[in-house]
Amino acid sequence: RADVGKLALRMSPTDVGALCTRVAAALAPYAWEAGRVTVGAQIADPLPPIALDPQRMEQILHNLVGNAIRHTPPGGVVLVTAERTQDALSVTVRDTGSGILPADLTHIFDRFYGGEASGGAGLGLTLVAEWTAAMGGTVAAANAPEGGACFSLHFPTPPAVTPRAPSAACHTPGRRRSR
């Protein structure tokens, strides 16, 4: 459906921080039982709600966190973070696994590209990229400097508004302004 432009998105104001926390909490017991991997979330407060399809965003996070769990050895950590930058809301899924082979980094979002070590069909990350783009965002993959893989999602937000007191020069006492 995404290929033919018929992907139905149900965009609504979404609390991305709560969504990240919920996905991390849902997958943490599985990660621990399956491979002694710890899954957590760190959410910056306050995050503004942004227009996303919450169901697709949850699927994106399940895919990224699930991949991170599979590629993280016992005793490792998968961390989901969310924060607001100057003009975007950023979500990052980082793991302490072996990272992504450099040859795979340039193709990791290509359809059916499973990479040498993926063990998958090569569709999950393609869908992550397509759904993220359909919601107006971008996705990137990199190796974290301290080791492991790092997937970052960025969704544009309106600039933060800082309330200001009205200036005394806005009107002259005794004169009425019409609007």
pLDDT digits (tens, 9 = 90+) for 117-167: 445 545 789 999 999 999 999 999 999 888 899 999 999 987 655 555 554
Classify burial at 97, counting beta carbons within 10 Å of its beta carbon; exposed 0-12, middle 13-18, buried 19 or more: buried
Is 30 strand, coil or helix?
helix
Instruction: Give the contacts of 162 (CB within 8 A, at least 6 positions apart).
Output: none
What confidence score (pLDDT) does residue 108 get? 86
Q: How far apart are CA 6 and CA 14, in angstroms?
A: 22
Tell me the C-alpha distance between 22 and 96, whole Å.
21
pLDDT of residue 122: 55
Q: Where are the alpha helices (DSSP H) in 43-108?
A: 54-70, 102-105
Give tens-digit pLDDT for 13-62: 999 999 999 999 999 999 999 999 999 999 998 899 999 999 999 999 99
Distance CA 153, CA 22 (A): 17
Between CA 148 and CA 155 the distance in angstroms is 23
Question: Can you give the pTM of this predicted structure?
Answer: 0.82
Amino acid 58: pLDDT: 97
